[in-house]
């Protein structure tokens, strides 16, 4: 994803803060709802066409869910301590 950066580096804290505020709306958030994650590595297609900045699984039950490897251009890779249903928040 291409960001629109300031034309020159910020020279004050106020300019740095404003540059950050201007960049935040450019981030895209999507949620993949009700996806079943198993105890073995589960590849979840995110549909972006490029690797997302981050992916956060939110389990619907009391289990541990973790990323097994870095996301790539097509998938996020997750596993869980027990099979569960998750929502997966993707930030790009």
Report if residue 87 sits inside a domain: yes
pLDDT in tens, 2-58: 666 667 787 888 888 887 777 777 778 899 999 999 999 999 999 888 899 889 999
**Residue numbers of the domain that contains 86:** 28-91
Average pLDDT, integer, range 66-73: 94
pLDDT at 59 over 90: yes
Residue partners of 86: CB distance under 8 A and separation at least 6? 34, 35, 36, 37, 57, 58, 59, 60, 65, 78, 80
Put simply, whether the predicted model's pTM sits higher than 0.75 gets the answer no
Question: Given this model, what pLDDT does residue 56 score?
Answer: 93
**What's the structural domain count of the chain?**
1
3-state secondary structure of 12: coil
Report if residue 35 sits inside a domain: yes
Question: Given this model, what pLDDT does residue 49 score?
Answer: 85
């Amino acid at each position: 994803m291409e960001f629109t950066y300031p034309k020159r580096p910020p020279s004050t804290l106020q300019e740095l803060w404003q540059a950050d505020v201007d960049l935040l709306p450019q981030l895209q958030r999507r949620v993949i709802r009700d996806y079943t994650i198993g105890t073995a590595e589960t590849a979840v297609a995110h549909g972006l066409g490029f690797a997302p900045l981050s992916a956060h699984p939110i389990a619907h039950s009391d289990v541990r869910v973790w990323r097994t490897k870095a996301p790539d251009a097509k998938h996020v890779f997750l596993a869980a301590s027990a099979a569960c249903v998750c929502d997966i928040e993707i930030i790009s």
